Amino acid sequence: MKNLIFIFTVFSAILFTQHCEARVSFTASAPETVSVGDQFRLSYTVTTLNVENFRAPAIKGFEVLIGPTRSEQSSTQIVNGNASSSSSITFTYILMANTPGTYTIPGATCTVGGQHLTSNGVKIKVVAGHSSGNNRSSDGGVHPSSHRSVSGSDLFVTGSINRSTVYEQEALVLTYKIYTREANLRFDNVTLPDFKGFHSQEVKMPTNASWKEEIYRGRNYYSTTYRQFVLFPQQSGKLKIGSARFDAVVSKVSQSADPFDAFFNGGSNIVNIKKVLTSPELNITVRPLPGNKPANFSGGVGAFNMTSSINSQHVRTNDAITVHIVISGIGNLKLISNPTLQFPDNFEVYDPKVTENTQLTSNGVIGTKKIDYLVIPRDPGKFTVPSATLTYFDSRSNSYRTLRTSPYTVEVEKGPGNASQMIQNFTNKQDVKVLGEDIRYIKLNDVKLQPMGSILFGSFLYWMWYILPAIIFIVFLFIYHQQIVENANVAKMRNKKANKVAIKRLKYAGSLLANNKKEEFYDEVLKALWGYTSDKLNIPVSQLSKDNIEENMKNHGVNDELVKDFLNTLDECEFAHFAPSGDANQAMDKVYSSCLDVISKMENSIKR
């Protein structure tokens, strides 16, 4: 009798198992619409506990934050003496949407009782705006009040420009603002666009962000201006500023008893939630400067004034004269070429000393640029220092304007002037000084007597005293003439001095690197790179662009690989200038070495 009961029980269990497995379902569920940066659940549910070899498909278009987590559920019901039971296993992923679009996730596979099952696929639409998909928990989304997510309407970033249509070199301001309803927020990484086609300068913001209450689209937020840049377009046409990415982390108090959460958060009730914020792309129309551009155009765009002064108009020969020129106003002040003064030929002229005192504003760079010219008259007489001119594009009147300073008459008297101290202050160099001379004793050598009647006249040595000075004079005259011809060729002189000027700027950048002055260091390195290409390729500053540089380098015989290295060095410098870095000194060292290497290779490659 016992054997019959055992056989009946086993037979009933087999039939019940087959009956249950015949009705096993394998389904996938996820929200239909989510926003960029939102987190949501993707779940695969099998209505049995006898599951083997679960395989999820390749999940493309989303970032997998957590998963898969496995949870089992079983229940038994007795109604009117009839017992029924159900069980299931759910595999869950927590995903985050990064890019707008429509994505299809294929079905997963598993094995149940030797039978191969495939779930349905799901289609998810990712939108750039703030969707309401996060507010639904029934469709697989994560509810905003849950500790697992941060809603796109509770935390987002905006990117805005103060004007969408500008002239070349005219300043515009790009502002990134953070809006949040979350209390504990930090940013692990910020990826900025490359600002291709622009010269960019970042506005220095306070170290501690200042948050203020603001109503945005009918809701209350805390907001702050996170990053701000002044951009100067370097070319005309339609330019685009790409999206910026902000990797945010929000800390929330966990309200869940899920052991999986406790495991990944070390048993703490504080959960760190990652969220990617992206700013919208911005389109800018850059109008070219009017075609009647003057030949002496300085590259300046804005509103400027220019004044000049001279330290003395009555001096002696070899005294130093300093001519001060001050350019003030608002615009692309740092990119303006220095005015050129044509001093008299018998004046020794030193390289001008430039001092800038500027700050960034919403309209561009405001401040002053001082240029000091040091000259030394070598001959007496009455001389005229002509006026300096500055031609720029006035963005207020949309026309070119030319500023002129007053000329100066200088009277030079013959006399023992002394300019050493002023030269030392101007160039930070000391003149060579004669410290003293030792007493020279008479050498007691053998005396060579000359026979009486022997004379020098008519001898070989006699004629050489005349011929050698004549040859030396002719050679000197030829070399001097060649120098005059070369000096008359301004483009050739700029080409000749390009490497010298670049090395001088890089030496100064090296001192800034040693003092860990990041902003000044990158400004000086960028001046060295842009200035070198302007002088070496004879391209006006107002026409400098990466495309123009690439074309001119190839025309001068520079190979494609070296051109690519030069442009990569320029991009690397601009990127390191504004991108945050964990090791700023290492990034500055790398940029400095790259600049020295690429300028050295370029100097050996370009032949004039």
Q: Do 37 and 127 lie in a common domain?
A: yes
Q: Do 384 and 321 lie in a common domain?
A: yes
Q: Which of 287, 307, 326 is the last residue of a domain?
A: 287
Q: Do 493 and 547 lie in a common domain?
A: yes
Q: Which residues of 97-107 are buried (b: 16+ CB within 10 A; e: fewer)?
A: beeeeebebbb
The two tokens of residue 120 are 């349905």
* Residue 456 belongs to some domain of the structure: no
* Residue 546 belongs to some domain of the structure: yes
Q: Do 304 and 376 lie in a common domain?
A: yes
The number of folded domains in the chain is 4
Q: Which of 78, 105, 135 is the last residue of a domain?
A: 135
* Residue 243 belongs to some domain of the structure: yes
* Residue 437 belongs to some domain of the structure: no
CA distance 217 to 225: 17
CA distance 61 to 126: 9
* Residue 76 belongs to some domain of the structure: yes
CA distance 201 to 170: 13
What pLDDT score does 150 carry?
78
Q: Do 347 and 316 lie in a common domain?
A: yes
Percent pLDDT > 70 in the chain is 76
CA distance 519 to 513: 10
C-alpha distances in Å from residue 422, one per residue of 58, 253, 410, 426, 431:
74, 68, 18, 6, 11
CA distance 502 to 306: 27
Which residue is listed with tokens 């001095």?
497
* Residue 2 belongs to some domain of the structure: no
Model confidence pLDDT, tens digit, residues 372-394: 988 888 888 898 888 888 888 88
- Beta-carbon contacts of residue 320 (< 8 Å; ≥ 6 apart): 374, 375, 376, 417, 419, 422, 423, 426
Q: Do 303 and 361 lie in a common domain?
A: yes
Q: Do 53 and 123 lie in a common domain?
A: yes
Q: Do 321 and 264 lie in a common domain?
A: no
Give me the CATH number covering residue 251.
Answer: 2.60.40
Structural domain boundaries, residue 79: 21-135
Give the 3-state secondary structure of 31-66: CCEEECCCEEEEEEEECCCCEEEEECCCCCCEEEEE
For 376, other C-beta atoms within 10 Å of its C-beta total: 19
Q: Do 108 and 159 lie in a common domain?
A: no
Q: Which H helix or E strand runs over 5?
A: helix 2-22
Q: Do 271 and 308 lie in a common domain?
A: no
* Residue 569 belongs to some domain of the structure: yes
* Residue 292 belongs to some domain of the structure: no
What pLDDT score does 81 carry?
62
Closest CA to 375 of 410, 353, 343: 343
pLDDT along the chain (608 residues), means of 10: 48 45 80 83 90 89 83 73 78 86 92 90 81 39 49 87 87 90 84 89 79 84 89 90 89 59 54 86 90 83 89 86 90 82 85 85 79 88 88 86 89 74 54 46 59 63 83 87 64 66 80 80 80 78 74 79 80 69 68 81 70
Q: Which of 135, 170, 202 is the last residue of a domain?
A: 135
Phi, psi for 546 (deg, rounded to 5): -65, -40
Task: Give residue 93's Cα distance to chain centre.
Answer: 37
Q: Do 582 and 561 lie in a common domain?
A: yes
Q: Do 245 and 167 lie in a common domain?
A: yes
Q: Report the Cα–Cα distance between both ends of the chain, in Å, rounded.
A: 112
Give me the CATH number covering residue 71.
Answer: 2.60.40.10
